[in-house]
Amino acid sequence: MSTEHIDDVSGISTTGHEWDGIRELNNPLPRWWVITFYITIAWAIGYTIAYPAWPMLSSATRGLLGYSSRIDVKNELAAAELAKGKYVAAIQSKTVSEIAADDALREFAVAAGGATFKVNCVQCHGSGAQGSKGFPNLNDDDWLWGGKADQVQQTITHGIRFASDPDTRISEMPAFGDIITSEQIMQVSAYVASLSGKVQDASLIEPGAKVFAENCVACHGANAKGNREFGAPDLTDAIWLYGSGEAAIAAQVRTPKHGVMPAWIDRLGETKVKELAVYVHSLGGGE
Amino acid sequence: MLDNTQVERLEAEAVNSAKVRQPLYAARKKVFPKRASGSFRQFKWLVMAITLGIYYLTPWLRWDRGPFAPDQAVLLDVANRRFYFFFIEIWPQEFYYVAGLLVMAGVGLFLITSTVGRAWCGYTCPQTVWVDLFLVVERAIEGDRNARMKLDAGPWTARKLVLRVSKHAIWLVIGAATGGAWIFYFADAPTLAGELFTGAAAPIAYITVAVLTATTYTFGGLMREQVCTYMCPWPRIQAAMLDETSLTVTYNDWRGEPRSRHAKKVLAAGQPVGDCVDCNACVAVCPMGIDIRDGQQLECITCALCIDACDSVMDKLGREHGLISYATLSDYNANMMLATAGGSGSVNPSLVRTADGLFSDKVAHFHIRKIFRPRTYVYMALWSLIGLGLLYSLLTRDRLEVNVLHDRNPQFVTLSDGSIRNGYTVKLLNMIPEPRTIVVTLQGLEGAEMSVVGIDQPAGRSVPISVEPDRLKMLKVFVRQPAGQIQGTAQTFKFRAEDRASFESDEYTATFNAPEIAR
């Protein structure tokens, strides 16, 4: 150690180091700074005693206050459940039509149903419920099985052509490729297409109407307006689940495709199904 | 001629004078400002009464806005995001009024500073006002300057303990009252006052009061002039705003120097003698603890108490007021040239006086005309333009607004009859505290009709909606256009919202989307 060096100008001792003739004064730290520093140390010790801190072999010290962020989350979730409780109870006790008619309740159900929809339904129906080929658009006013809130609830609860639910909505259009000739399929497709638009060969329409009357009216009705009892689509409107135009219609007549939707009651429970029904009903096409 | 026997000479030394310049990190020397009296002190009492009065009383003023809005004249309703100022109600999106007022305050400060120097610092700054208030308490309890210095230097006796404890206790009460008044701007004052004293107010109210009590006590009682000298950026900025025609508190060397405590002897010896008798009264009253005779300096808040102190000494001496005065640098320089015979020698006060002892005609005095110069014209013009602009936009602003959000997913829906439907979220803003019926109408978009979710009414082109007072109403609106009337994939049209009682209206241009080939 070198001997103590005192700075000539200030009269304060230096640290003893020298860089190019420059020496650093050995001023004490400001008192307030030192005190603050000791307070932080004391605080840190107190903090690690009061709160979970020290890692042990399998867990960590719990702290005297018994604080845990998991308990916080649990309490917050419980508080949220409690806040929702009023609405949930009302939804449980009322029918979907009653819920849809009550402004506050509908608002809650639409928000809750929307969240459920985003998790469970968007895979097939799309994030805006706009559907795609083979998967119905839920925004429009065309309903295969009925567009009243309770009908939608029934559909969601038991699904469509869902084998393991005995109450599921079920229907099956035969594959007419095995029943009528290809020519008849061409004719009936032209007839069906003509109901809502123009066709290339108008001469096919009249024999097509005959084929339709012989084979299709049982389900689709004499005026081709469909029948919701069997989920038979209205063939006179602008909405086509499997594509519009003669070719798409012919394909569906020859070997029909049938969509399947699972029953959601076991997975979601009645409250969420009701909320979903109100949500779907609110999208603009509800009856 | 100079009879200075009646003048009390004070043993006052500036904490940081030109002669003994302190290093930046020197420990603080306590300042014990002496009580001053005079016209500036009177004016400062008045300013203090007005500013404190405004601060403490404003939340208690009432203003009737009808049954649907609070009746507090000035209220920052953070919870509901409304700001009430007498007849004005501001929604969050109108916050630019506040920004405009702040810009006006800034330009106003430039104007004030360029004309009368650091008047903000000396008279109206909360730090100055509260320090003044805390000094009133200190003087009332511990006595004036000499008594306080003696008490401070003396040993800890029971009397000293009692005085100190009561002083700090009163300071804390003032601090609590300051913090207490602050929170009343954010909630209904009478209600909150009741809650505050019964322990029913929100924790944030108590925390705010505690924090403001601490800051008021620390800044006003303990730190005082250090806040201005070390913490505040204004002294630096405002000093840069001064020019040679700005009024600042000035020691007029040209009539004061050479200063002397023994004027008669000096005169008898045939030496020149100035008006300053070096009584240190100006130093003793200074709340910043400086010596103004060193010239204008950063620490000076231009509170003008040294002018009062000096003027009362000049009265006793039978000399003119204004040895220390508000003066401009250009006047000061002109007078110095006069007193030093063109800068050739040291100050000779006889050069600024005529034979009979009066000031010569050549002495420059401030004239109000000097306030009006290009720089201040620019500030005045800017200030008034912003003010008029704000006033204009305030008088012509809309109290009814409509905002529309087009559904993006799906953009459009084909319905069974081939018509196309678009969904919109329509927001109606009723910005007055009265319920209104607002008629929403479609403009353009031939053949289209709309229906509103939750409103039981057949589809049409016009729907009346009742909106609660001072609220936003959100509507889900479906607009449907028949297949035959669709023109293109994106048609523009308008949602028009109209209050048929007040003839107020607003429009929003929206887009109607349709698929490529709509049949």
pLDDT digit string (tens) for B388-407?
999 999 998 888 999 999 99
With 50 as the cut, is the pLDDT of residue B1 above it? Answer: no
Residue of B24, B226, B408, B413 to mutate, testing the A interface (most A Cβ within 10 Å of its Cβ) = B413
Mean pLDDT of A255-270: 94
Classify domain A176-254 by CATH architecture: Orthogonal Bundle (1.10)
Question: Domain residue spans in chain A?
Answer: 1-67, 72-168+261-282, 176-254
Residue with more model confidence, B217 or B19: B217
Q: Are B416 and A237 in contact (CB < 8 Å)?
A: yes
What residues of B are in contact with residue A110 (Cβ under 8 Å)?
none
Task: Determine whether domain B400-513 maps to CATH 2.60.40.10.
Answer: yes
With 90 as the cut, is the pLDDT of residue A122 above it? Answer: yes
According to the model, what pLDDT value does residue B513 have? 94
Q: Are A237 and B413 in contact (CB < 8 Å)?
A: no
C-alpha distance from A238 to closest chain B C-alpha (Å): 5
Closest residue of chain B to A235, computed from CA coordinates: B416
Q: Are A284 and B414 in contact (CB < 8 Å)?
A: no
Q: How far apart are CA B105 and CA A183, in angstroms?
A: 87
Q: Give residue B4's pLDDT band: very low, low, confident or very high (50, 70, 90).
A: low
pLDDT digit string (tens) for B308-331?
999 999 998 888 898 999 999 999
* Alpha-carbon dihedral sign for residues B312, B318, B321, B322: negative
Q: CB-CB: which of A103, A126, A141 is closest to B416?
A: A141
Residue with more model confidence, B506 or A23: B506
C-alpha distance from A84 to closest chain B C-alpha (Å): 22
Residue A284, chain B, CB below 8 Å: the answer is yes
Per-residue tokens: B205 = 């109210």
Q: Are A239 and B407 in contact (CB < 8 Å)?
A: no
Mean pLDDT of A5-19: 82
- Angle among Cα B208, B209, B213 to the nearest 5 degrees reads 115
With 60 as the cut, is the pLDDT of residue B427 above it? Answer: yes
Residue A98, chain B, CB below 8 Å: the answer is no
First to last CA, chain A: 95
8 A C-beta contact, residue B501 and residue B480: no
With 60 as the cut, is the pLDDT of residue B5 above it? Answer: no
* Alpha-carbon distance values, A139 to A232, A273, B76, B409, B421 (Å): 19, 18, 43, 10, 9
For A:121-160, CB contacts with B below 8 A are 126-130, 137, 139-142
Residue of B226, B416, B420, B480 to mutate, testing the A interface (most A Cβ within 10 Å of its Cβ) = B416
For A:215-254, CB contacts with B below 8 A are 234, 237-239
pLDDT digit string (tens) for A178-234?
999 999 999 999 999 999 888 888 899 999 999 999 999 999 999 999 999 989 999
Closest residue of chain A to B477, computed from CA coordinates: A284
Q: Are A238 and B413 in contact (CB < 8 Å)?
A: no
What residues of B are in contact with residue A129 (Cβ under 8 Å)?
410
Q: Give residue A109's pLDDT band: very low, low, confident or very high (50, 70, 90).
A: very high
According to the model, what pLDDT value does residue B436 have? 93
What residues of B are in contact with residue A282 (Cβ under 8 Å)?
453, 476
With 80 as the cut, is the pLDDT of residue B254 above it? Answer: yes
C-alpha distance from B492 to closest chain A C-alpha (Å): 22
What residues of A are in contact with residue B423 (Cβ under 8 Å)?
139, 284
With 50 as the cut, is the pLDDT of residue B518 above it? Answer: no
Q: Give residue A285's pLDDT band: very low, low, confident or very high (50, 70, 90).
A: confident
Q: Are B410 and A128 in contact (CB < 8 Å)?
A: yes
For the domain spanning A72-168+261-282, the CATH number is 1.10.760.10
Residue A282, chain B, CB below 8 Å: the answer is yes
Q: Which residues contact B306 (CB under 8 A, 6 or more apart)?
A: B36, B249, B281, B282, B283, B285, B286, B292, B324
Mean pLDDT of B419-441: 94
CB atoms within 10 A of CB B260: 20
Q: How far apart are CA B48 and CA B122, in angstroms?
A: 11
With 90 as the cut, is the pLDDT of residue B352 above it? Answer: no
In chain B, which residues touch A (CB < 8 A)?
407-410, 413-418, 421, 423, 453-454, 476, 478, 483, 519
Q: How far apart are CA A94 and CA A112, in angstroms?
A: 16
With 50 as the cut, is the pLDDT of residue A55 above it? Answer: yes
What residues of B are in contact with residue A10 (Cβ under 8 Å)?
none
**CA contacts within 13 A on the Cβ side of B179:** 22
pLDDT digit string (tens) for B8-42?
777 777 777 777 777 766 778 888 999 999 999 99
8 A C-beta contact, residue B36 and residue B288: no
pLDDT digit string (tens) for B38-93?
999 999 999 999 999 999 999 999 999 888 889 999 999 988 889 999 988 999 98
Q: Give residue B519's pLDDT band: very low, low, confident or very high (50, 70, 90).
A: very low
Q: Are A127 and B453 in contact (CB < 8 Å)?
A: no
What residues of B are in contact with residue A141 (Cβ under 8 Å)?
415-416
Q: Which residues contact B203 (CB under 8 A, 6 or more apart)?
A: none
A72-168+261-282 and A176-254, same CATH topology? yes
Question: Domain residue spans in chain B?
Answer: 39-240, 244-366, 400-513
pLDDT digit string (tens) for B473-499?
999 999 999 988 988 899 999 999 999
According to the model, what pLDDT value does residue A276 have? 96
What residues of B are in contact with residue A100 (Cβ under 8 Å)?
none
* Assembly ipTM: 0.78
With 70 as the cut, is the pLDDT of residue A2 above it? Answer: no
